[in-house]
Amino acid sequence: MFPEDLRWPIAGSINRAVEWLVANHGDAFEAAAGGVLFVLVHLEQFLRGLPWWLVVLAVAAAAYHASRRAALSLGLAAAMVLIGVLGLWDMAMQTVALMVVATVLAVAIGLPLGIALSGSRRARALALPVLDAMQTLPSFVYLVPALMLFGLGKVPAIFATVIYAMPPVIRLTDLGIRLVDAEVVEAADAFGASRTQRLFGVQLPLALPTIMAGVNQTTMMALSMVVIASMIGARGLGEQVLLGIQRLDVGAGTEAGIAIVALAIVLDRITQSYGRGGAAARRAAG
């Protein structure tokens, strides 16, 4: 047995901290939850109200715009049709709505943090262990504080997903900006560019392929977390997987798994193609 004198459990301290947050900042959490829920509900209604063929055409158009490859566009359109053929179209739109809101929030928070880290070695040294911990913790752990702060439903699922999916975009934004050629940055300074002009006119455009890789990874992690978040009330394809497990319904679980894979392929290929397309355009311009 480990010596009693050396034990220092932290569960009680964490519980007291969460209780203090709920007691003293409950109104702020409720306001944030209300805003997120408002956006989510309207986005979900919009996606579920669209004709299925219009969504398929939009996916094909986005794929072609990103890659200029007709074969990829047709393949991704076929993946979306497969989801409908399996009878899971409505659930897939619920999952997409959850994932889009979570991804937008993760990128909106993570991108400025990555930019800030790229300009400060001290901030990077402090943030890297935190990011390591965020990526190492089991995804189920994020459900507990989200559940305590926001209760059951879609809102805690979104906030848990944001925390889980944010590290890649922070890391790769920081990395992409730091990898910009120092001579290019010096040339911008020599021409009298301000810090803001240098960032938005030189560093971010050149770092865009790396940043898009971070967005791609964040999107994939958000999709995987949204599925797990069905355990606390999130609807969509994850709920179908959970029901398949609870009822030992292998067929229903397999159908939902295939739909999730199809959705992941669509999102992955489109975001990857946008990143590669931006890099190719800059090489051609150079």
**Other Cβ atoms closer than 10 A to 161:** 32
Distance, CA of 150 to CA of 159 (rounded, Å): 9
Section 94-99 average pLDDT: 90
What are 220-265's pLDDT values in tens digits? 888 888 777 877 777 888 888 888 888 888 888 899 889 999 999 9
Instruction: Tell me what pLDDT residue 63 has.
Output: 92
**Other Cβ atoms closer than 10 A to 258:** 16
Instruction: Tell me what pLDDT residue 259 has.
Output: 92
Q: 């794929």: which residue's tokens?
A: 63
Q: Contact, 265 vs 76, CB < 8 A?
A: yes
Section 171-194 average pLDDT: 88
Distance, CA of 161 to CA of 226 (rounded, Å): 6
Say whether pTM exceeds 0.75.
yes
CA geometry: angle 231, 232, 237, nearest 5 deg: 50
**Other Cβ atoms closer than 10 A to 23:** 8
Q: Contact, 262 vs 83, CB < 8 A?
A: yes
What are 110-167's pLDDT values in tens digits? 999 999 998 888 989 999 898 888 888 887 788 877 777 777 788 888 888 888 899 9
